[in-house]
Amino acid sequence: MTIHSLNAVDMVLECLNEHPKSGIPILHWFLATKKQISKAIDLGCYFSIGPAMLISARARKVISWLPDERILLETDGPFAKVDRNILFPSNVQSVIEYLSNDRGRSREEVLAKLSNNLKNLVSN
């Protein structure tokens, strides 16, 4: 299940804690503290990252705290836009490039990890 927790991170994490068999949570555009991210990881959450997140310094900081094995791609299109342009699935290439530079890994390594994350998610 994809969850948007804007202004309700603690409440969302508490609900997930109280209902551990509700499905595998994917936290969408998750803006949280390191402590909240740690709790989300303990709860089995994944984190979806889209191109529009890369515009925000705060979001980039949060992205740097996320473990590689819990990151998924998303566009948030057609709602999110970059430079007034609607986002399409092909726009996730910017996230792959960003993660490659941010994590010091090749584009191929990042893409393989993201693919593996999705496989792990759907196999659970």
| Chain segment 8-26, per-residue pLDDT in tens | 999 999 999 999 999 999 9
Residue 78 neighbours by CB under 8 Å, 6+ apart: 86, 87
User: What's the average model confidence in pLDDT over 74-102?
Assistant: 88
In this structure, what token pair is assigned to residue 112?
A: 């393989």
Residue 77 has pLDDT above 80, yes or no: no
Tell me the C-alpha distance between 121 and 87, whole Å. 24
- Tell me, what's the pLDDT at 50? 93
Number of domains, the chain: 1
- Tell me, what's the pLDDT at 124? 80
- Tell me, what's the pLDDT at 73? 95
Look at residues 91, 53, 90 and name the one whose alpha carbon lies nearest to residue 71: 53
CA dihedral angle for residue 74, residue 9, residue 116, residue 64, rounded to 10 degrees: 90
Can you give the pTM of this predicted structure?
0.93
CATH code of 15's domain: 3.20.20.140
CB atoms within 10 A of CB 109: 14
| Chain segment 106-116, per-residue pLDDT in tens | 999 999 999 99
- Amino acid 82 reads V
- Tell me, what's the pLDDT at 76? 80
**Percent of the chain topping pLDDT 90:** 82
Structural domain for 117, as ranges: 2-123
Q: Does residue 88 or residue 56 have the better pLDDT?
A: 56
